[in-house]
Amino acid sequence: MSILARHFEDFNKRYPYATLEEQAGGTAVVSLPAVRLPPGWNKAAVDVKFVVPGGYPQAAPDCFWTEPALALAHGGAPQNTGQQATPGIPSEWLWFSWHPSTWQPNSDNLHTYLNVIRRRLGEAK
């Protein structure tokens, strides 16, 4: 069993509705439905996807996507977002250019990256 498969098995225990879809080129897409959002957004929850790079865990996941209709509560676009075509991600989904500030391949995992996403979504800006 690959390290990604083991990490996803552990991740899936806490997030049973998460899915992992392998892509051509050795990447994979993790999908999480209904990630809760704090006040400041136009929704209470949003579906999220992120790409696991082929070199994981030495290479960290980088950037994430949400359903396209996500906006700030006042209707504006969130900072550091746009459109970014990526295999396995619907082209209309909202791309967040958001990166982990540190990544330790011997201890960080899919939970770590989800925490990066949650911190960004916790800042409705």
Per-residue pLDDT of the chain (125 residues; tens, 9 = 90+): 799 999 999 999 999 999 999 998 899 999 999 999 999 999 999 999 999 999 999 999 999 999 999 999 999 999 999 999 899 999 999 999 988 999 999 999 999 999 999 999 998 88
- Residue 25: left if φ>0, alpha if ψ -120 to 50, beta else—which one? left
- CATH says 3-122 is which class? alpha beta
What's the whole-model pTM score?
0.95
What's the pLDDT at 85? 87
Domain limits of the chain? 3-122
For residue 27, what are its two tokens? 């990447």
Residues 91 and 83: their CA atoms lie apart, in Å, by 7
Indicate the SS3 state at residue 3: helix
Indicate the SS3 state at residue 39: strand
* Amino acid making up residue 119: R
